[in-house]
Amino acid sequence: MISLAGRDILHAWGKFVFTGIGLGLLIGVTLTMAGVYRGMVDDGKVLLDNSGADLWVVQKDTLGPYAESSSVPDDLWRSIRAMPGVAQAANVTYLTMQVGRGDEDVRAMVVGVAAGGPGVPGWPPQLVAGRQITRGHYEAVADAAAGVRLGDVLKIRRNRYTVVGLTRRMVSSAGDPMVFIPLKDAQEAQFLKDNDAILMQRRRTEANPAFNRPAVPDLLDAVIASQTSNSHVNAVLVRLRPGFAPQEVADPIRLWLRLTVYDRAQMEGILVGKLIATSARQIGMFLVILALVSAAIVAFLIYTLTMDKIREIAVLKLIGTRNRTIASMILQQALVLGLIGFVVGKITATFAAPLFPKYVLLVPFDTAMGLLAVMAICVLSSVVAIRVALRVDPAQAIG
């Protein structure tokens, strides 16, 4: 038996191909949207992977350091380091800000890393060019996504940093490239006030008789010194000794140091379940709308193609063609249209993904699910046309 659907498609291939391309662009956008979501999740996981931490110790009752602000004393890491099961503990600061690059600026996450070098939690695990930070001030390692090259100068607050190393795929959960600088510089960048604000604060402190006591001449200097220096970080990153379970180490830290501790799974839950939850819902809504639009396009085209063939369908029924042969013809056409659209969409998404400013991750699972969804949409979309075709009276052929 010849394939009626195949012959009709070959006969009207232009209509199918051009509609398939249109549908494919829509499917391409849909796959890309799914890729944007996967990219956001992957960015979050990469952020956690690159931190090199097994535990994140943050301010009590906060979701820091990525989803909420968190502030802990910068000498706390010593106490944590002494806890059983802790192999390494290091301070870290995170600050998302505009970083100056020549005449322009770029959105970046500035990471303050504690002294020590590669291997210490918080440090970039590997570079694609240049070297790690070796000086205590004014050197930076930046992600290539920031558009910088070795030797470029970045302006963070009022200080300038020379880029000495480059990383790849070191990004925040929002996809912003990371810029690593020494911890002290990062603390200053995060908490430093401008000169006028410092002067005004000094005047207010001097005017306060509680701090400016003639009988205690060093008190005022001590208070002002404490106001202008910062002794806080956003989190302490902890790496465990082999053989210790995360909760086994986290529980004593929570109990004795009155801090909140997250392990990897909990931190992933915060990043994926809370930080990007709204974006994920937004993307989900887009996916639903795009699926409906795709379904409407397929349904309209298949319905139109069927209506164009009403007389032929009547003749086919009159000469004894089974209803299921006619339904199968319409269904196959819808599926072929969906398949053309999907192939075009997949190619479009694959070539368009690298052009997006944020990371777009196209995973095979999404591709497979997308194909299934497209086929399901095509089946549903053909229902109306099939119903119309099955209702055609063979007597119409006689007149």
Binding site for other proteins (CB under 8 A): 1-2, 4, 7-8, 10-12, 311-312, 315-322, 325, 394-395, 397-399
Please identify, using beta-carbon distances, which residue of 114 and 392 lies nearer to other proteins: 392
Least gap, CB of 333 to other proteins (angstroms): 11
Please identify, using beta-carbon distances, which residue of 11 and 274 lies nearer to other proteins: 11
Which residues share a beta bridge with 261?
A: 57
The amino acid at 235: A
Question: Distance between CA 80 and CA 324 in Å, rounded?
Answer: 72
Least gap, CB of 24 to other proteins (angstroms): 23
Residue 174 contacts residue 138 (beta carbons within 8 Å): no
Please identify, using beta-carbon distances, which residue of 16 and 342 lies nearer to other proteins: 16
Least gap, CB of 381 to other proteins (angstroms): 21
Please identify, using beta-carbon distances, which residue of 241 and 324 lies nearer to other proteins: 324
Least gap, CB of 13 to other proteins (angstroms): 10
On the CB side of 162, how many CA atoms lie within 13 Å of its CA? 10
Please identify, using beta-carbon distances, which residue of 97 and 315 lies nearer to other proteins: 315
Q: Please count the other Cβ atoms lying within 10 Å of the Cβ belonging to residue 339.
A: 16
Residue 374 contacts residue 292 (beta carbons within 8 Å): no
Please identify, using beta-carbon distances, which residue of 4 and 63 lies nearer to other proteins: 4
Which residues share a beta bridge with 113?
A: 92, 182
Strands 139-143, 159-167: pairing kind: parallel
- Phi, psi angle pair for 119, to nearest 5°: 105, -25
Residue 178 contacts residue 166 (beta carbons within 8 Å): no
- Phi, psi angle pair for 161, to nearest 5°: -125, 135
Least gap, CB of 326 to other proteins (angstroms): 11
Please identify, using beta-carbon distances, which residue of 148 and 389 lies nearer to other proteins: 389
Dihedral angle sign, alpha carbons of residues 382, 388, 390, 394: negative
Q: Please count the other Cβ atoms lying within 10 Å of the Cβ belonging to residue 186.
A: 26
